[in-house]
Structure 1
Amino acid sequence: MTDITGMANKREMHAAAPYPRRWPMLPVLLAALFMAQFDLYVVNVAAPSLQHDIHAGQAALELIVAGYGFTYASGLITGGRLGDLLGSRRMFLVGMLAFVVASLLCGLAGGPGELIAARLLQGLAGAAMVPQVLAIIAAVFPPAERSRAVAWFGVTIGVGAVAGQVIGGALLQVDVLGLGWRVIFLVNVPIGLAAAALALRLLPHPQAAVRPELDPVGAAGISAALAFALLPLVLGRTEHWPLWTWISLAASVPAMALVLWWEAALARRGGQPVLDLTLLRSPALARGLVICLAAFCSFFSFLFVLTLVLQSGLSLSPLAAGLTFTPLGLSFAAASIAAPRIAVRQGARLVTTGYAVAAAGLIGLYVDLHLSGAHTDVARLIGPLVLIGLGNGLAVPALTGVVLAGARTAQAGAASGILTASQQFAAAGGVAGIGTVFFAALGDRHGTAGYASALAWVAALDLALVLVACLVSRSLWNPETAEG
C-alpha cells in the first residue's frame, strides 16, 4: 500500500511539474505578437511610397492601414475561443503560417485592391495566433513565474508598435534589394517560417482533446457589430462623415446587444458560445476592459498623431521620425521588465502608479507645447516621451496579469481574446476618433506652430483618458473586489 501511495504521489508531482521548455518557448510566442504589432504601424511610414508606386489614393491608404486593424480586432475574440476549442498550439501554428502567406501576398501585390485584400487576410491570421500567446502562457507557466512571462508580453506590445516606426523607416531608407515598400511585408516570411518551425518543436501538445462546438452565428455577429463601429471611425474623416457613417455607428449598439442575447441564450441551452459571458462576471476583467479601452485609446492615438507631427510638422525623414520614438520605446521596455518585481510590493497599485506617471508626461507635454509653439523641437519632446513610455510600461504588464489572474485555464484563450480585442479596438478607435480631432484642430495650418497646437489638443484628450484609467484602476486594489 505504501509503495502504491508513493507511486501515486510521484505521478501527481510529475503531472504538476512545470513544462521544461517554457522559457525557450516564450520568445517564439512573442515573435507572433511582435509581428502582429509591427504590421499595425509599419505601413504608416510607407504611405508615400504606396501612393507613388501603386497609385494608392487616400481612401485606399486608409483601408490598407486600417483594414488590417479591423479584421485583427474583430477576429480576436473568435480566435481566442477557437484556441480553447481546437487547441492553442494548433491555432497558433495555423495562424502563424497564414500570417506568412498573407505577408507574402502583401509583398507581391500589384495594385491597391490586391494589397487591401491581403491586409484583411493578414489581420485575420493575426487574430488566430495572438490570443494563443497569453493562453499558452497562462496554461504553461506556474503562478510564481507567470508575472515575468506576462511582463515580456507587455514589453512586446510597446516595442512592436515603436519598432514599426523605427525599423520600418530604416528598411525603407536602406531599400533592401531594391524592394522598396515591399520589404516591410516580405521580412515577415523568413521570421514567420522560423517561428513556426521552432513552435513545432517547443510548444506543448494539448493534454486533453475537447470536442469542438463552433458558434458561427456568434462569431459572425461579433465581427459585424464591431464592423458597424470600426468602419465609420476608420473612413468617416476621409469621407467627410456621410449619413451612412452615423447610421452604422448607431446600429453597432443594438447589433452588439442582439449578439450578446444570442450568446447568453446559447449558453443556457448548454452550447459553447464564442463569447463566454460568464467571464464578464469577474470584476477584474470587467474593470480591466474599461481601463484598456481608455488607456490604449490614449497611448496608440498619441503614437499615431506624433508620427504626423514629426514628419509633417517638424519635417523629419521617416527614419529620423522613427528614431525619435526610441526613448519612449526604451523606457517602455525597461519599465515592463522591472514591473513584475515592483508588482510584488505594489500589486494592482502598480497599474495606478503607471498611469499616473503617464499622466505626468502628458501634462508636461501639454504645457511645453503651449510655451514653445513654433519653437517646438525634438529635444523638448524627449522628457515627456520618456514619462509616457515609462508609465505605460509599468501599467500594461501589471494590468494584464491582474485581469487574467482570475480566468480558469480552460478559459484562458477566451479571456485573452476579449482582453486583446478590447486593446486593439481601443487603439483603432483612438487613432480614428482622436485623429479626427487632430486634423480638425490643425485645419489649414502647415507650420510647426499649427502642428504643436493640434498636438496639444490631443495631449489634453489623452490625459483625460489616462485619468479615467487611473481612477478605475483603484478599484483593482482590493483583492476581493478584483477577483469577485
Structure 2
Amino acid sequence: MSATTEELLPPRTTPTAPESSADPRRWRMLPVILSAMFMAMFDYFVVNVAAPSFQHDLHTTDAGLELIVGGYGFAYAAGLITGGRLGDLLGYKRMFVAGMAAFTLASLACGIADSSTVLIVARLVQGATAAAMVPQLLALINVIYPAAERPRAMAWFGATIGTGSVAGQVLGGVLLEANLFHWTWRPIFLVNVPIGLIAVVLALRWLPDTRGTHRPKFDPVGAVGIALSIGLALAPLILGRAEGWPVWTWISLIASVPVMIVAMRWESKLARAGGAPMVDLTLFKERTFSLGLALSGLMLAMFGGFMLAMTLFLQGGMHMSPVRAGLLFGPLGVAFATTSLLARQVSGRYGARVIAIGASLSTTGLVLLGIVLAWRGADLASWQLLPSMVLVGAGNGLVLPSLVGSVLAGIKSRNAGAASGMLVTAQQFGGAAGVTILGTVFFSALGSHPSGLGGYVSAMRWVDLVDVVFVVAILAMAFLLPKQAAGMAAKR
C-alpha cells in the first residue's frame, strides 16, 4: 500500500479496534442509524402520490404544489455539506440526535398544516433538518464498525435507500387509500413522528459520542457560498419545467457557476492559510472520490427520473390508483434491497467492476422496457413491465453500496462528515436534475392532448431512451475507477 493510501484512513476516534473489542450493541444501533436514511428518502418520494390531495384539501396552486414537492429536496441538498461539517465539529451523535428531533417536529408541522403556506414552510424545514441528520449516519458507520464489518453495514445502507424510495410510493399510496381517521394526506407525514421519537430515545441511549480525530473550526463563508450556489442551481431545476422556464430560471442557473467558483477560491485560500475549509479540495485529487461523485449523481439522475416517469405512466396512462401503482413498484424495491445486501460479497470478488455489472443489469432492464413498449404499444399490460423494473432495481441496488463504500473508503477522518455530505449532495443534485430532464422529455413527448395509452407509451419510450444514455455513461465511467477500489472497501 502506498504512503498516500496509508494516510487516507477511515474516520475513527481511536485506533481501529478488532471485532472482539467493538461495541457489542453495534448491530442493534444500525436500524436506529438507518432510520434517518429511510425517513429522508420516504419523504422525498411520498408527496408525489399525495399531490392531488394537497390541491383538493388546501386549494394549493400549481406553484405551491411545486414548492411542497420540490422545496424539501431543495433545502435537503443545499444543506448537506454544512450538515456534514457540523458533524465533524460538534460530534456525529449530537448532530444525528438534533437533526432527527428537528425532523420529527417538522414532520408533525407538515401533518397538522392548515394551509399550503404552512405546509411549504414546514417542508423546507423538514429538508433542512434531514440535511443535518443524514450525513452523520455514514460517519457513524465508519466509527462504530470494525473495518471488516463496514461493507455489511454499507450494504444495509444501500438497501435502505431503495426500500425508502419505494416505500414512499407503496406505503404512501396505502395510507392515502386507507384515509385513517379521515385525515386524507396527513398520515404520510405523521407516520414519521413515532418513528422519530423512538429513534431519538434509542440514539441517546446507544450511539457513541464520537467525532473525527480532528475538530475543525466552522467556515461560515464557505457554508453560505456553497449552499447558495447549490440553491441557485436547484431552484430552477425543481421549478423551471412547470413554470415554463421563465427568465429568472436561466439567470439563477448561470449565476450558480460564478458563485461556486468564488466559494471554491475562498476554500482554497482558507486551506493555504492553515484554516479548516468547508470542503477540502484535495479530496478531488483522488480519482475514486471525484469519479464516485459523478457516478453517484448520474445513477440517481437515472433512477429518480425513471421513478417519476414510471409513476406518471402508471397513474396517467394506465389509470392505476396510487396504491395499485405503488404496489407495482414492490418487486423493484425487493430486487434493490436484495442486490444491495449481496453487493459486499460481489465487491470482494470483482472489485470496482461490480459497478459495471450493476450498470449492465440496469441497461438490460431499460433495453427490455423499450422492446416491451414498442412490441405491446397500447395493448400493454402492467405485469409486462415487471421484468424490466426488477432488473433496473437490481442493477441500482448492486451499484449504490459498492459505490458509496469505494468513495468513502479512503477519506481522512477530519473530513468524514463533509465528504459524506458531498456524496449525498451529489446524489440529491443528480436526482433533481434527472427528474427535471426526464420530466421535461416525458411531458414534451406527451404533448398537451395525449392520445390515450398510446401517447403515454410513446412518452415513456423517449424517457427510456434517455435513461439508456445515462446508464451507458455510468457503465463507461465505471471502467475508469481503480480496479481495486470497491474490493478494498469490501475488505477494510
Settle same-fold status: TM greater than 0.5.
Answer: yes
- 1:457, CA displacement in angstroms? 0.7
In 2, distance between residues paired with 1:81 and 1:12?
22
In 1, distance between residues paired with 2:59 and 2:299?
36
Deviations 1:357-400 (A, max 9, x none): 10000011112111221112211100100110111111111111
Determine whether 1:275 maps to 2:279: yes
- State the Cα RMSD in Å: 1.8
* Partner residue of 1:41 out of 42, 45, 48: 45
Deviations 1:250-272 (A, max 9, x none): 11111111111111111111111
Letter in 2 for 1:275: V
- Corresponding residue of 1:409: 413
- Corresponding residue of 1:454: 459
* Partner residue of 1:445 out of 439, 446, 450: 450
Letter in 2 for 1:38: F
Deviations 1:122-160 (A, max 9, x none): 000000000001010012211111001000000011110
Determine whether 1:155 maps to 2:159: yes
Determine whether 1:470 maps to 2:475: yes
- 1:446, CA displacement in angstroms? 4.7
- 1:207, CA displacement in angstroms? 6.7
Determine whether 1:400 maps to 2:404: yes
- Corresponding residue of 1:7: none
Determine whether 1:57 maps to 2:61: yes
Quickly say closer, same or farther: Cα 1:54–1:392, change in 2 above 3 A. same
Quickly say closer, same or farther: Cα 1:258–1:446, change in 2 above 3 A. farther
Deviations 1:309-353 (A, max 9, x none): 111110000000000001100111111111111212111111110
Quickly say closer, same or farther: Cα 1:366–1:409, change in 2 above 3 A. same
Answer yes or no: is the 8 Å Cα contact 2:354–2:398 preserved in 1: yes
In 1, distance between residues paired with 2:214 and 2:181?
47
- 1:13, CA displacement in angstroms? 9.2
- Corresponding residue of 1:184: 188
- Corresponding residue of 2:367: 363
Determine whether 1:143 maps to 2:144: no
In 2, distance between residues paired with 1:12 and 1:67?
41
Deviations 1:199-223 (A, max 9, x none): 0111011278865521111111111
- Corresponding residue of 2:97: 93
Q: How does 1:82-121 map to 2 (within 5 A)?
A: 82-121=86-125
Determine whether 1:256 maps to 2:249: no
- 1:409, CA displacement in angstroms? 2.9
SS at match of 2:278: coil
Count, aligned residues: 473
Letter in 1 for 2:364: A
Answer yes or no: is the 8 Å Cα contact 1:283–1:482 preserved in 2: no
Answer yes or no: is the 8 Å Cα contact 1:355–1:469 preserved in 2: yes
- Corresponding residue of 1:134: 138
In 2, distance between residues paired with 1:397 and 1:101?
30
Moved over 6 A (4+): 11-16, 480-483
- 1:14, CA displacement in angstroms? 7.1
Quickly say closer, same or farther: Cα 1:127–1:14, change in 2 above 3 A. closer
Letter in 1 for 2:162: G
TM-score normalised by the chain length of structure 2: 0.93
Deviations 1:417-453 (A, max 9, x none): 1111100110011111211111111102151111111
Quickly say closer, same or farther: Cα 1:31–1:482, change in 2 above 3 A. closer
In 2, distance between residues paired with 1:396 and 1:310?
26
- Corresponding residue of 1:350: 354
In 2, distance between residues paired with 1:433 and 1:252?
18
Letter in 2 for 1:190: P
In 1, distance between residues paired with 2:212 and 2:332?
43
Q: How does 1:326-337 map to 2 (within 5 A)?
A: 326-337=330-341
- Corresponding residue of 1:244: 248
In 1, distance between residues paired with 2:211 and 2:461?
53
- 1:20, CA displacement in angstroms? 2.4
In 1, distance between residues paired with 2:280 and 2:273?
13
In 2, distance between residues paired with 1:207 and 1:127?
17
TM-score normalised by the chain length of structure 1: 0.95
Answer yes or no: is the 8 Å Cα contact 1:327–1:386 preserved in 2: yes
Quickly say closer, same or farther: Cα 1:389–1:255, change in 2 above 3 A. same
In 1, distance between residues paired with 2:408 and 2:486?
14
- 1:240, CA displacement in angstroms? 1.0
In 1, distance between residues paired with 2:422 and 2:16?
33
* Partner residue of 2:393 out of 372, 382, 389: 389
Answer yes or no: is the 8 Å Cα contact 1:162–1:329 preserved in 2: yes
In 2, distance between residues paired with 1:356 and 1:188?
36
In 2, distance between residues paired with 1:261 and 1:190?
44
In 1, distance between residues paired with 2:482 and 2:213?
37
Answer yes or no: is the 8 Å Cα contact 2:90–2:211 preserved in 1: no
